[in-house]
Structure 1
């Protein structure tokens, strides 16, 4: 199945290193627990339940890996396409893009800043967001270079999440906003 019938001009995938870190963490947590469960249940014969749960977890993890490897953002001649992990594909017509905001953001002043790209409509509402935690700097810049139909605003100084919550909360995800700080 193709994303769209139009030819894909550029497509970038989410960082693969995050997947390896997640699998390593899952193994580090589950292997000791499974060993203890098998050790306790094999003498009683209840190990079958542990094996069934382990099989279910493996199936869920394989499905999660499959979904993760499919996540991408593509630009076609007519659309910006975001294939998401959970919620299908977000199709944004290129003519509905009002502007693109590129900025360096960090969670706190102590954390390392990461490039973020916000694709906004004419009213300033977010259409697509590429977070540096998940997308490489090169990938974000590749997508931005193909969004020439809208002005690209570069914020020169690094911005904290706190500053963005007070100045432009509409650009953030719902869980990053703090309603008490909104103007």
Structure 2
């Protein structure tokens, strides 16, 4: 067991991908909007909307940079992207359940770590899209708990039927997750 505090951060490439996608979407859109409004004198509205979009983008980047999981021998504290803080003290942690879930329409899997309380209710979930397997293993090392879970990978549908309470609300509705 380690006595250190570890700060886990989401994959860095997610921020770069998000910024590139936002620029790819907004640059041509605003270029056309400026081109259409410069001659008619309505470019000030376009500029105001452009500034508003830039401010929202900057706020999103700041929120991403504040997203983290702090793990210490005392427990786990997660600050999510939207600012939600989830916390579970070490004494209330029942199990660390690592489940390999098949990605949609693919043969590869992604790890999902569910931190369950003593009643088996998930308090915090780390999804492989955002957190590395090494981070999940570090979390287990710091808390000095074994990673348990099914030996076989499961589909989201299987997890939905066996442990629906472990999933986010939108994952419980098959129609919303087929895409």
Common fold, TM-score beyond 0.5?
yes
What is the aligned length? 172
Q: Which residue of 1 aligns with 2:34?
A: 38
Task: Name structure 1 gaps, 5 residues minimum.
Answer: 1-6
The range that moved more, 108-117 or 24-33, is 108-117
RMSD over aligned Cα atoms: 1.8
- In the TM superposition, residue 58 of structure 1 has moved relative to its aligned partner by 0.6
- In the TM superposition, residue 151 of structure 1 has moved relative to its aligned partner by 5.0
- In the TM superposition, residue 178 of structure 1 has moved relative to its aligned partner by 3.7
- In the TM superposition, residue 79 of structure 1 has moved relative to its aligned partner by 2.3
Structure 1 residues 132 and 90: CA distance shift in structure 2, 3 A: same
Q: So what's the TM-score if we normalise by structure 1?
A: 0.87
DSSP-derived class of the 1:85 partner: coil
**Is the contact made by 1:14 and 1:72 (CA closer than 8 Å) also made in structure 2?**
yes
1:163 and 2:167 matched? no
DSSP-derived class of the 1:26 partner: helix
Following the alignment from structure 1 to structure 2, what is the Cα–Cα distance between the partners of residues 135 and 70? 14
Q: Which residue of 1 aligns with 2:117?
A: 121
Deviations, residues 41-94 of structure 1 (Å, cap 9, x unaligned) = 000110011011101111111111011011111112322110111133222111
Following TM superposition, where does structure 1 have runs of at least 4 consecutive aligned residues deviating by more than 4 angstroms? none
Deviations, residues 139-174 of structure 1 (Å, cap 9, x unaligned) = 1111122222x5531322111101101111111111
Matches within 5 A, 1:44-59: 44-59=40-55
- In the TM superposition, residue 14 of structure 1 has moved relative to its aligned partner by 0.5
Structure 1 residues 163 and 79: CA distance shift in structure 2, 3 A: same
1:101 and 2:119 matched? no
